[in-house]
Amino acid sequence: MTDSSVLDLAPVVPVVVVEDVADAVPLARALVAGGLRAIEVTLRTPAALDAIRAVADEVPDAVVGAGTVISPQNVADSVAAGARFLVSPGWTDTLLDAMKKSGVPFLPGVSTTSEVVALLERGVSEMKFFPAEAAGGVPYLKSLAGPLPQARFCPTGGVSLSSAPSYLALKNVGCVGGSWMLPADAVAAKDWARIETLAREAAGLR
């Protein structure tokens, strides 16, 4: 990755759940064509690691990462598959150590002020805010900016096309994560053109 910060690659990072590895490459190509280069493939399905490997091998313009990383084994497997960044829903010291040693950028998940302070104490200033809407949304992040201006976030969880601009307007938000540009019916129908259109709309938010 030419940029060491995941937060600066695009205003929106698509959060992708791949059920069929055959969908991974055309889906990634549609997202990239729409202007969304950073793609988070979640480790929620048996196809996830093969999907990361396929995108890394066949879609050179994509910056593919792994999401739902919750163990050192997840870290090792994801990097071996070609993931260029890592995202976790939360963090522990063990997981954080593994992500730091991975050699790729990472966004550990936080939902409380204490977790943010603990990460800053460990030299980490870029993090995922999850689950964003349930954990307090825009007002919560706005409140953190005063006492903790050095922390920057990628809010994910319940973020939509309509709410994304409010998050992106905050000075401590680098990007948002979401899946609204990947409606299940479009993926099922392999309607990559529709996904490209929705991705372009999302990429234009900033």
Say how far apart CA 25 and CA 1 lie, in whole Å.
Answer: 19
From the list 100, 115, 121, 128, the catalytic residue is: 128
CA distances from 91 to 26, 42, 73, 98, 168 (A): 32, 16, 14, 11, 24
From the list 19, 40, 101, 190, the catalytic residue is: 40
CB 128 within 8 A of CB 153: yes
101 in catalytic set? no
The pair phi, psi for residue 99, each rounded to 5°, is -70, -40
128 in catalytic set? yes
Catalytic residue numbers? 40, 128
